[in-house]
């Protein structure tokens, strides 16, 4: 009987409801940021004071980071170009940013004057389809990736310098640097994952070439790791050796969660987490410390909110705090996200209710054990007589 009670008690404890690690969010439509074509990329200024947007037809635009809904605070940035921009990245100092795009476009944005101009040496990139740019945290070098596999390092005064005569791949999909260490991740569709070390050396990570990788994130600056995201909802953790990139290792490539969606990108979010972009539109929150993933915003919720917006693509996401932030679509729809406190409170009451029920059931089990145990009854009677005596 005693063993049976222990088993039932353990099952009850395991069935208690668990609090969600990622709050459900309430959505609010804040209209559109106008653009002539699709918005292809965004980047938040260090400190969060401004957000740069780039897109098709030479589009570049700045919105206020603290009040992104205030269109009177927007700054339309003239680039003088008609080719498409593909990526933008602020310098870690926050004073300037680099923009890259089709036809070898490499341009610099000056934050104080809002001027955009060509970078010295950019003629060396003519005709290349530049799809990624990323400053490493040391702020001395930025890396530039072309879709055809070419990779450059760039420093002010020296211009672009080709790394390793280009990569042995034909399709780079993203470029991401660690937030504290001078090491960066290159994802490809066919040739796996690569790392750029602190001395600009390029190494390939074995065992990763069987997956089509679409993005990576190094969300927590205190961890010497990054996470890569691939087709088929697969992910892998890259354990970084920040001194010797070739000594870095990868974990097991594994699926995240079963759902009818594909990952298309990732944004660094609050709390050292990442928000993984999905198509059909949705968001998953990935906590790199626990290596767990949570449904942050699903397609069903978006369809109920606005079926037209639900059918669009995500250009970028940023947060002020966990659960509170903004989603911008490629069509310029600006969606506010705040935690659903009603659901959070309901979850608390549900948890407390479950605990109360469990305690009541446990009490019943103990009572039944007492009624069916002559030894317990005899022990209770002896103890009661001692107290009375």
Quick one: tokens of 262?
């594909």
Same domain, 332 and 272: yes
Q: Which residue has the higher pLDDT, 84 or 22?
A: 84
Same domain, 284 and 325: yes
Q: Quick one: what percent of the chain has pLDDT higher than 70?
A: 80
Same domain, 333 and 374: no
Backbone angles phi, psi at 248, to 5 degrees: -70, 155
Whether the bond between 69 and the residue before it is cis, its omega within 30 degrees of 0, is no
Give the mean model confidence (pLDDT) for residues 144-150: 92
Region of poorest pLDDT, from 47-56, 167-176, 245-254, 374-383:
374-383
Same domain, 321 and 304: yes
Asked whether residue 51 is assigned to any structural domain, the reply reads no
Q: Compute the distance between CA of residue 295 and CA of residue 311 in angstroms, rounded to an integer.
A: 18
Same domain, 356 and 320: no
Same domain, 318 and 299: yes
Asked whether residue 347 is assigned to any structural domain, the reply reads yes
Task: Tally the domains of the chain.
Answer: 2
- Alpha helix (H) residue ranges in 45-170: none
Asked whether residue 380 is assigned to any structural domain, the reply reads yes
Asked whether residue 99 is assigned to any structural domain, the reply reads no
Top mean pLDDT of 19-33, 121-135, 359-373 is at: 121-135
The number of C-alpha atoms within 13 Å of 98 and in the hemisphere containing its C-beta is 29
Residues 6+ apart with CB under 8 A from 51: 42, 43, 44, 45, 62, 63, 64, 65, 68, 316, 318
Asked whether residue 164 is assigned to any structural domain, the reply reads no
Same domain, 328 and 298: yes
Task: Note if the pTM is more than 0.75.
Answer: yes
Backbone angles phi, psi at 133, to 5 degrees: -145, 140
Residues 6+ apart with CB under 8 A from 125: 104, 105, 106, 144, 146, 152, 160
pLDDT in tens, 273-319: 999 999 999 999 999 999 889 899 999 999 999 999 999 999 999 99
Same domain, 389 and 316: no
- Of the pLDDT bands very low, low, confident and very high (cuts 50, 70, 90), residue 91 is very high
Asked whether residue 47 is assigned to any structural domain, the reply reads no
Asked whether residue 93 is assigned to any structural domain, the reply reads no
Q: Identify the pLDDT of residue 342.
A: 78
Identify the domain boundary among 297, 317, 339: 339
Region of poorest pLDDT, from 17-26, 225-234, 321-330:
17-26
Asked whether residue 334 is assigned to any structural domain, the reply reads yes
Token pair 């504290």 in the structure block, residue: 180
Q: Which residue has the higher pLDDT, 56 or 389?
A: 56
Number of other CB atoms surrounding residue 389 within 10 Å: 5
Same domain, 281 and 321: yes
Give the mean model confidence (pLDDT) for residues 11-30: 57
- Percentages of the chain per state (helix, strand, coil), in multiples of 5: 25, 40, 40
Domain that holds residue 264: 257-339
| 36, 82 Cβ separation under 8 angstroms | no
Backbone angles phi, psi at 232, to 5 degrees: 75, 20
pLDDT in tens, 171-218: 899 999 999 999 999 999 999 999 999 999 999 999 999 999 999 999
């Amino acid at each position: 009987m005693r063993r049976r009670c222990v088993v039932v008690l353990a099952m009850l404890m395991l069935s208690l409801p668990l609090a969600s690690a990622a709050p459900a969010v309430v959505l609010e439509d804040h209209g559109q940021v106008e653009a002539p074509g699709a918005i292809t990329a965004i980047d938040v200024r260090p400190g969060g004071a401004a957000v740069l947007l780039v897109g098709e037809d030479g589009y570049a635009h700045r919105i206020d980071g603290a009040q992104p809904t205030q269109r009177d605070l927007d700054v339309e940035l003239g680039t003088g170009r008609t080719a498409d921009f593909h990526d933008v990245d602020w310098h870690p100092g926050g004073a300037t940013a680099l923009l890259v795009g089709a036809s070898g476009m490499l341009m610099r944005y000056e934050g104080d004057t809002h001027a955009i101009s060509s970078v010295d040496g950019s003629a060396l990139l003519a005709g290349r389809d530049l799809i990624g740019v990323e400053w490493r945290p040391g702020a001395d070098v930025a890396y530039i990736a072309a879709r055809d596999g070419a990779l450059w390092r760039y420093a002010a005064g020296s211009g672009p310098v080709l790394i390793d005569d280009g990569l042995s791949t034909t399709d780079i999909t993203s470029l991401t640097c660690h937030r504290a260490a001078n090491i960066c991740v290159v994802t490809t569709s066919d040739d796996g994952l690569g790392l750029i070390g602190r001395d600009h050396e390029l190494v390939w990570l074995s065992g990763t070439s069987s997956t089509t990788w679409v993005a990576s994130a190094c969300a927590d600056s205190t961890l010497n790791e990054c996470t890569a995201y691939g087709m088929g909802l697969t992910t892998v953790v890259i354990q970084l050796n920040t001194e010797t990139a070739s000594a870095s290792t990868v974990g097991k490539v594994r699926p995240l969660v079963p759902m009818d969606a594909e990952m298309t990108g990732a944004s660094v979010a609050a709390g050292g987490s990442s928000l993984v972009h999905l198509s059909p539109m949705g968001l998953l929150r990935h906590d790199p410390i626990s290596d767990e993933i949570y449904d942050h915003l699903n397609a069903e919720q978006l369809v109920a909110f606005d079926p037209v917006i639900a059918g669009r693509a995500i250009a970028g996401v940023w947060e002020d705090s966990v659960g509170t932030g903004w989603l911008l679509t490629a069509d310029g729809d600006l969606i506010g996200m705040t935690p659903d406190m009603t659901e959070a409170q309901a979850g608390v009451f549900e948890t407390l209710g479950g605990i109360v029920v469990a305690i009541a059931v446990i009490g019943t089990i103990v009572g039944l054990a007492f009624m069916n145990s002559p030894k317990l009854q005899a022990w209770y009677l002896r103890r009661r007589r001692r107290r009375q005596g």
